[in-house]
Amino acid sequence: MSGAVDIGYGQLALALGFVVLAGGASLWLKLGLGRDLIVGTLRTVAQLALMGYVLLYIFAINQAWLVLLLFAGMIFFAARIVAGRVKGKGVPVFWPVFLSMLLSYMVVSFLVTGVVVQAQPWWDARYFLPLGGMVVGNSMNAMALSLERLFGEMTNRRDQVELLLSLGADPREATTAINADAIRAGMIPSINSMMGVGLVFIPGMMTGQILAGADPLLAIKYQIVVMLMLVGSTTLGSVVAVSLARRRLFTPAQQLRPGVSGTR
């Protein structure tokens, strides 16, 4: 079924020329990025090679538990990346992030493969993993943006939150506006990309399908599904992650945690 021209190992090595070009620029302009370029290149090759062989194996045996385990593994690493990016002032967010990703990405991926695409069975590795992978990869940025905004605003607007608490608001009431800002921050990029798709960029999945010889009209249908599912998954992920994380900003006595409220 593959219509794409095969790339030989020699030709693949030619692509290294791009990295040599970047390395040259780093040396010439004293950017200090040489080491990162080498590590990045090695990791790209190794991680993708590993992924390729894992997919070969999983496609071959196509077992539900294995597909779902791999999906959970992808989410685990995504949650680690997001939790590392959000320096939550001493408030750990790994578990809220992991749980909200698992819940929302699982629901969206199931709806896409099982209900929209109607793959048989719904967890068929050839559909579920690439589509689910796109949900994870694109939505994790949304979640990081939402949580960064949540923690940033909690610090900036700490006085407003404490005012509302002191007037008898519960933590949810005291953070209504911040909650909305944080969720909005996560949703806006996926809405913006709906505006630009097909005009200012051809998305990666569509590119891949066209290279593989698929009918562009079929590729477009898949791409529409992907764009819409990303709006759903970023919304669901941001809403769940922000509501789980904002609970952790307060003590059971409905006080801002010291790390969030600063020292007084």
In order of 109, 152, 196, 201, the CA distances from 206 in angstroms are 18, 36, 14, 10
**Please, which residue, 126 or 157, has the CB nearer to other proteins?**
157
Cβ distance to other proteins smaller for residue 217 or 253: 253
Q: Which of 167, 195, 199, 217 binds other proteins (CB under 8 A)?
A: 167
Q: Is 165 in the site for other proteins (CB under 8 A)?
A: yes
Three-class DSSP labels, 172-233: HHHCHHHHHHHHHHHHHHHHHHHHHECCCECCHHHHHHHHCCCCHHHHHHHHHHHHHHHHHH
Contact pick of 63, 170, 180, 188 for other proteins (by CB under 8 A): 170
Tell which one of 12, 115, 173, 196 touches other proteins (CB under 8 A): 173
124 binds other proteins (CB under 8 A): no
User: What are the angstrom distances between the C-alpha of 248 and each of 81, 82, 153, 253?
Assistant: 19, 16, 15, 12
Decide whether 124 or 181 has the Cβ nearer to other proteins: 181
Q: How far is the CB of 240 from other proteins (least distance, A)?
A: 23
141, 160, 193, 243: residue in contact with other proteins (rule CB under 8 A): 160
**Per rule CB under 8 A, is residue 155 in the interface with other proteins?**
no
Query: Closest CB to other proteins among 235 and 261?
Result: 261
- Is the torsion defined by CA of 191, 98, 109, 44 positive or negative? positive
Q: 77, 135 in Cβ contact below 8 A?
A: no
For residue 156, state whether it binds other proteins (rule: CB under 8 A).
no
Q: Which is nearer to other proteins, 91 or 241 (CB)?
A: 91
Site for other proteins in 214-243 (CB under 8 A): none
Nearer to other proteins, 45 or 163 (CB): 163
**Which stretches of the chain bind other proteins, using CB under 8 A?**
159-160, 162-170, 173, 251, 253-256, 258-259, 263-264
